[in-house]
Amino acid sequence: MRADMADPLTLFTSIGLSEQKAKETLKNDALCSALKDAIAQAQRVLGVAGVDKATGTLLYTMASRLRDPKRLGFLTDHIAQRKICTELQLAAALEFVKSHPQDPINQQEFESLCGVGVVITPEQIEDKSASVFTGEARGGLMWADGKMIKNEVDMQVCVAIHLCLSPEGIVYINIDILTLMDELRGVALNFHKPGENYKTEGYVVTPKTMDLLKQHLEFTGGQIRTRFPPEPNGILHIGHAKAINFNFGYAKANDGICYLRYDDTNPEKEEEKYFTAIKDMVEWLGYKPYEITHASDNFQRLYDLAVDLIRRGHAYVCHQRGEELKGHNPPPSPWRERPAEESLVLFDRMRRGLFAEGEATLRMKIVMEDGKMDPVAYRIKYTAHHRTGDACSTPSFVGSLEPLIILICLCVSFRRSSYFWLCNALDVYCPVQWEYGRLNLTYTVVSKRKIIKLVEEGTVRDWDDPRLFTLTALRRRGFPSEAINNFCAKVGVTVAQATMEPHMLESCVRDVLNDHAPRAMAVLEPLKVTITNLPEGIRNDVRVPDFPANEFMGSHVVPFTRTIFIEQSDFREVMEKGYKRLTPDQPVGLRHAGYVISVQKVIKDAQGRVVELEVHCCSSHEAAEKPKAFIHWVSEPQKCEIRLYERLFLHKNPEDPSEVPGGFLSDINPNSLQVIDSALVDISVSKAKVFDKFQFERVGYFALDPDSTADKLVFNRTVTLKEDPGKM
């Protein structure tokens, strides 16, 4: 069936496409035309033999993935001549022509890199699959059929599992999981190499691209360069931690550099405290910027580029008001075809302050991927900029002018092609923009506007309130930076938006604090205990290990006197089934002291509440039987304030009107903060510094709050010792 005479639907089904796939192809004019041309070319090569299903499948794949139409005939010939006969070879061929956009193509190099003429036998697959656990199977058989490799590997895995059975019948298999740094080195990422931007999907190649890439590569020396570009109008939150780890981490993992670039183009909302806090948080997470830059550093250059864009006919001054441009289908601008000379005069007047705010904007002539036309590049703002002074017009569409190799951005793919368009329209170097998915947590809000509302309403104290998930709040609560980085590693490098439960982050926190937070003893609700058989004035020193699991990691000394304090919950006047701590009929051990106490007298106040116990103390070696439990205690303690935190919101998604019809402010948990102002802690923590972390034995992990004074320490509970199953 000749391609130039056949009905397209019949033609496409004749080469093996299903009717549904053929109909879908007909809806895409470019793909339909390319596939018809490929079939016609293949028919000329094959003659009467025609195009079979295997060849047709390869032709369809080639036509749908090929980005350079001038290579269609070249690849079609190789497919029709059976030089390219597998999907793997075709993928390599497509990659080759994409990475070699200029003529002529080196035929020998092409065939070598695409496996032309290579035949893999089943015996080779069997032999090579034996080495699969060392990762060599695919590497040694590049052009082998993937399904055959999989089947062989599956069989050998079964054999391996059988051989790994222990005498107890337990299977021991070690699986290496990629760490974040492995991913960022490129093991699991498909980032382009320096100078090979044009190999990236969607990257637009212009006649000047190769020269610009060459100049850029000469300037950077092929070094990996990234940037983290926060807006200094709020505090960074947990989602930014992912961005910091990816941008700085990717550069660090590949011996590159990363800029901290403040996107300071909105002077109305920017404050110095935000600039400082952002830098502090980047450094707190363990990264040091190669250089700190500002978008405002380039205001003059951006203005000059805007003038150039107008001269080239790609931008114009528009007088539509902001309200006219809202919505998905705003009316087209009547000034779109305004002469460039006229727009240049008006743009200069915008800069000199001869228009009111909103009276004129500079718009770019481009249709965005979401269908919106002509985004605003410059608008008028009569607000003094903290670095450049008074400014009448400010850029709203700012690309990075640092000499970057790669942009790693929040997933805003509708801007990607616009960014490429802008760089190419101005004939400037165009870095590749790679997107990743936003990181969200349930039971919280991270919107700057909503956090400001929480502060204004008095629901939280400030941006660093430990109930929030800003980075300053997490640091104040006691979350180690290492735990936050580990959490980002667990989330991984994903393009899809990720919504995680807070307990996953808290689990990472426990893992770090368990190894790094020294132990101390604190009593939140004290009950006085007098040891009657210990004379007044006697003071023994008890050595307590900082890390009981490894006593070589240090210890501290606490006093043991006639008066100690225990938790009220560690005594019950009436014995209950399963209760193992102190009762009038049941002794209990004291942690680290080597003593067992037994109740002699229960003292109550006028309301009948237990206020003191008189006990007898003996060495644990002298006790008639080993106590069922050991409790913590303090003696000659220091008074402190303890702040216990729970989730700020009652529902998982406080911003979802279907879940919280009254809005996020109606969803506040009334028990999100409990303050205990008369807790007692042992003297080992008396010299602690702000943000120092401890495990208060049997209570939880705590960190010293900045509100602490010389007279009174304040501790924030970071997390409980164990995860609360009710929060999962």
How many Cα atoms are found within 13 Å in the side-chain-facing hemisphere of 552? Answer: 0
Q: Which of 168-172, 362-366, 717-721 has the lowest mean pLDDT?
A: 168-172
Dihedral angle sign, alpha carbons of residues 497, 501, 502, 504? negative
CA angle 523, 593, 585 (to 5 degrees): 75
Q: What is the pLDDT of residue 272?
A: 87
Cis peptide before 104 (omega within 30 of 0): yes
pLDDT digits (tens, 9 = 90+) for 190-235: 677 888 888 887 788 888 989 999 998 898 888 888 889 898 988 8
Question: Average pLDDT in the 718-723 region?
Answer: 89
Q: 75: buried, middle or exposed (CB in 10 Å: 19+, 13-18, 0-12)?
A: buried
User: Could you tell me what percent of the chain has a pLDDT over 70?
Assistant: 84
582: which strand partners?
A: 571
Confidence of residue 187 (pLDDT cuts 50, 70, 90): very low
DSSP 397: S
DSSP 667: G
pLDDT digits (tens, 9 = 90+) for 322-364: 888 877 678 889 999 999 999 999 999 999 889 998 899 999 9
Q: Which of 90-99, 247-256, 408-417, 532-541 has the lowest mean pLDDT?
A: 408-417
The more confident residue out of 79 and 167 is 79
Rounded distance between C-alpha atoms, residue 484 and residue 506, angstroms: 9
Rounded distance between C-alpha atoms, residue 638 and residue 678, angstroms: 10
Rounded distance between C-alpha atoms, residue 12 and residue 32, angstroms: 9
The more confident residue out of 166 and 123 is 123
Q: What is the pLDDT of residue 175?
A: 31
Rounded distance between C-alpha atoms, residue 531 and residue 600, angstroms: 10
Q: What is the set of active-site residues?
A: 231, 438, 448
**How do 393-395 and 376-380 pair as beta strands?**
antiparallel
Q: Are 475 and 690 in contact (CB under 8 A)?
A: no
Q: Are 567 and 631 in contact (CB under 8 A)?
A: yes
521 token code pair: 């003893």
Q: What is the pLDDT of residue 390?
A: 63
pLDDT digits (tens, 9 = 90+) for 441-457: 999 998 889 999 999 99
3-state secondary structure of 341: helix
Q: What is the pLDDT of residue 720?
A: 95
588 token code pair: 């209990």
The more confident residue out of 68 and 543 is 543
3-state secondary structure of 13: helix
Q: What is the pLDDT of residue 725?
A: 44
**How do 630-631 and 693-696 pair as beta strands?**
unpaired
Q: State the chain's mean pLDDT as an integer.
A: 84
- Beta-carbon contacts of residue 523 (< 8 Å; ≥ 6 apart): 565, 566, 567, 632, 633, 634, 637, 679, 680, 681
528: which strand partners?
A: 565, 612
Q: What is the pLDDT of residue 664?
A: 95
227: which strand partners?
A: 259
Q: Kindly tell me if the per-residue pLDDT of 9 is higher than 60.
A: yes
pLDDT digits (tens, 9 = 90+) for 51-67: 888 898 999 999 988 87
Q: Are 238 and 441 in contact (CB under 8 A)?
A: yes
Confidence of residue 130 (pLDDT cuts 50, 70, 90): low
Q: What is the pLDDT of residue 388?
A: 74
Rounded distance between C-alpha atoms, residue 500 and residue 654, angstroms: 14
Q: Which of 194-208, 266-280, 406-420, 633-647 has the lowest mean pLDDT?
A: 406-420
Q: Which of 24-33, 504-513, 689-698 has the lowest mean pLDDT?
A: 24-33
Q: What is the pLDDT of residue 634?
A: 97
Rounded distance between C-alpha atoms, residue 721 and residue 135, angstroms: 40
The more confident residue out of 203 and 416 is 203
* The residue type at 487: F
Phi, psi of 340 (to 5 degrees): -60, -40
Confidence of residue 497 (pLDDT cuts 50, 70, 90): confident
Q: What is the pLDDT of residue 126?
A: 57
Q: What is the pLDDT of residue 188?
A: 47
Q: Kindly tell me if the per-residue pLDDT of 392 is higher than 70.
A: no
The more confident residue out of 165 and 655 is 655
Q: What is the pLDDT of residue 440?
A: 86
How many Cα atoms are found within 13 Å in the side-chain-facing hemisphere of 121? Answer: 3
Question: Average pLDDT in the 655-674 region?
Answer: 95
Cis peptide before 545 (omega within 30 of 0): no
Confidence of residue 611 (pLDDT cuts 50, 70, 90): very high
Confidence of residue 163 (pLDDT cuts 50, 70, 90): very low
Q: Are 679 and 524 in contact (CB under 8 A)?
A: yes
Q: Kindly tell me if the per-residue pLDDT of 137 is higher than 70.
A: no
Domains of the chain: 8-114 (1.10.8.1290), 122-161 (no CATH), 296-397 (3.90.800.10), 455-488+500-516+638-681+685-727 (2.40.240.10), 527-629 (2.40.240.10)
Among residues 293, 305, 270, 266, the alpha carbon closest in space to that of 391 is found at 266
Question: Average pLDDT in the 570-581 region?
Answer: 93
Report the range out of 86-100, 135-149, 670-684 with the highest average pLDDT.
Answer: 670-684
Q: Kindly tell me if the per-residue pLDDT of 601 is higher than 80.
A: yes
Q: How far is CA 514 from CA 207, 286, 389, in A?
A: 58, 20, 50
Using the structure block, give the residue that is written with the tokens 């995680």: 500
First to last CA, the chain: 62
Angle, helices 146-163 vs 122-129, to 10°: value is: 40
Q: Are 440 and 499 in contact (CB under 8 A)?
A: yes
Q: Which of 124-128, 513-517, 632-636 has the lowest mean pLDDT?
A: 124-128
466: which strand partners?
A: none
Among residues 718, 696, 281, the alpha carbon closest in space to that of 478 is found at 718
DSSP per residue over 463-485, as a string? TT-TTS-BHHHHHHHT--HHHHH
Q: Which of 317-321, 371-375, 522-526, 679-683 has the lowest mean pLDDT?
A: 371-375
Q: 614: buried, middle or exposed (CB in 10 Å: 19+, 13-18, 0-12)?
A: middle
Q: How far is CA 183 from CA 238, 250, 691, in A?
A: 20, 8, 31
